[in-house]
């Protein structure tokens, strides 16, 4: 970093009328005033040509790990900074604009956007009055307050591809780089309107979502939408609807989490309603393969742990065929319990 300026000295203080500093690929220029009484400083500056890829590692935040987005832009801003003594009570108000760079940093994604913000160093609070951004596959807006222990953000996202967001998602979840957890790829597109909170008991996300062509580990869905609550200790979906191929289901469920992870001993419960769903759709979702066809209507309750899941319910299979035998309707109960072989069914078939 280099800097220069002329100065004007009088009994009240010092004025730097043409201060200029150069770093991070750009410059900060403006007027800086220092008053001897209280050692109070004020700077009115213009920032130009600063590279986001160089700034992001320095401002990476536990509540918002911006460096893991791998964004790059050319930043310009007008700002007013005040502080006293050795940068005590540092306070900055700024309007910022991001342009896509002509030469993109390796491994980064171009982003454009506009910000209006205030940052106060002593309480470590960032107030976002306006944050709008757009990348080649995503756009969104964020407003609110960012603080290590008490963040409150309103978020709107339209993500065309989750692939570039994987590192950011894993960082939010606390997954360490180069671990099996961080290696899990998350795919699909996502729309989200909701809130992010960091109260004393931990970070949480609440809102409405819609995902398409979703994939996580060995789970794949054509679409999934509903009301979501996601925190270190639980994942809750209300009024959910899931679709894969010809299968469509209504879902309400809860998963117990351990510091964001769904472990073998974590409990879960879910209620699923099906209406004339082809059997092959259920087989695709569950990974089963049986010589059974038909249209399934039923209400099912799942529960247990990840290692020992259980499923019970009442079902009605119409226009079916099982092991070469056709039937008009089969009604009965379904019970899948831990330690048992693939599901058995009991009921009465009308041939």
pLDDT of residue 341: 46
pLDDT along the chain (351 residues), means of 10: 91 94 91 95 95 88 82 96 93 96 94 95 90 96 87 93 92 84 91 86 86 86 94 92 85 90 91 85 67 87 90 88 85 75 41 33
Using DSSP, state whether 11 is helix, strand or coil: coil
In a domain, 110, yes or no: yes
3-state SS, residue 163: helix
The 8-class DSSP code of residue 57 comes to H
Distance in angstroms (rounded) separating the CA atoms of residues 139 and 145: 20
Q: How many domains does the chain have?
A: 1
What is the helix, strand, coil percentage profile of the chain, to 5?
10, 65, 25
DSSP 279: H
Q: Could you tell me if residue 308 is inside a domain?
A: yes
Residue 7 in domain: no
In a domain, 35, yes or no: no
Model pLDDT, residue 41: 96
> What's this model's pTM, rounded to 2 decimal places?
0.76
Residue 107 makes CB contacts below 8 A (sequence gap 6+) with 70
Q: Does 11 map to a domain?
A: no
pLDDT at position 350 is 36
pLDDT at 173: 77
User: Which pLDDT does position 339 carry in this prediction?
Assistant: 60
Q: How far apart are the two ends of the chain, measured CA to CA in Å?
A: 85
Q: Note whether residue 327 is domain-resident.
A: yes
Contact 112, 103 (CB under 8 A): no
Provide the pLDDT for residue 36.
94
Cα separation, 81 vs 89, whole angstroms: 10
Residue 346 pLDDT: 39
Task: Give the separation between CA 346 and CA 140, rounded to whole angstroms.
Answer: 51
In a domain, 133, yes or no: yes
SS3 132: strand
Tokens at residue 95, please?
A: 């309007």
Q: Give the residue numbers spanning the domain of 309.
A: 45-73+103-350
Whether 115 maps to a domain, the answer reads yes
Question: How much is the pLDDT for 201?
Answer: 61
């Amino acid at each position: 970093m280099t800097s220069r300026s002329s100065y004007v000295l009088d009994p009240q203080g010092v004025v730097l009328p043409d201060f200029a500093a150069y770093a991070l690929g750009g410059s900060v220029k403006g007027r800086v005033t220092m008053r001897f009484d209280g050692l109070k400083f004020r700077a009115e500056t213009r920032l130009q040509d600063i590279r986001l890829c160089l700034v992001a590692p320095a401002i990476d935040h536990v509540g918002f790990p911006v460096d893991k987005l791998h964004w790059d832009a050319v930043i310009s801003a007008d700002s007013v900074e005040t502080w006293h003594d050795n940068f005590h009570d540092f306070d900055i108000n700024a309007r910022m604009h991001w342009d896509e760079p002509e030469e993109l940093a390796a491994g980064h994604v171009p982003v454009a956007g506009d910000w209006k913000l205030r940052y106060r160093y002593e309480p470590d609070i960032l107030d976002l009055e306006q944050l709008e951004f757009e990348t080649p596959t995503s756009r969104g807006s964020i407003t609110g307050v960012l603080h290590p222990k008490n963040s409150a953000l309103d978020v709107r996202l339209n993500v065309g591809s989750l692939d570039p967001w994987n590192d950011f998602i894993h960082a939010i979840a606390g997954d360490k780089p180069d671990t099996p957890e961080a290696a899990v790829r998350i795919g699909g597109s996502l729309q989200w309107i909701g809130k992010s909170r960091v109260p004393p008991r931990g970070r949480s996300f609440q809102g409405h979502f819609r995902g398409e062509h979703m994939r996580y580990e060995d789970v794949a869905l054509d679409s999934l939408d509903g009301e979501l609550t996601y925190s270190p200790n639980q994942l809750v979906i209300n009024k959910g609807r899931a679709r894969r191929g010809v299968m469509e289901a209504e879902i309400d469920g809860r998963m117990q989490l351990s510091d964001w992870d769904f472990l073998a001993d974590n409990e879960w419960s879910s209620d699923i309603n099906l209406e004339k769903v082809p059997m092959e759709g259920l087989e695709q979702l569950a990974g089963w393969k049986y010589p059974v066809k038909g249209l399934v209507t039923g209400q099912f309750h799942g529960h247990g742990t990840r290692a020992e899941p259980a499923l019970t319910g009442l079902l009605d299979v119409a226009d079916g065929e099982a092991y070469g035998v056709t039937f008009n309707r089969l009604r009965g109960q379904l019970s899948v319990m831990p330690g048992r072989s693939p599901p058995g069914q009991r009921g009465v078939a009308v041939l």
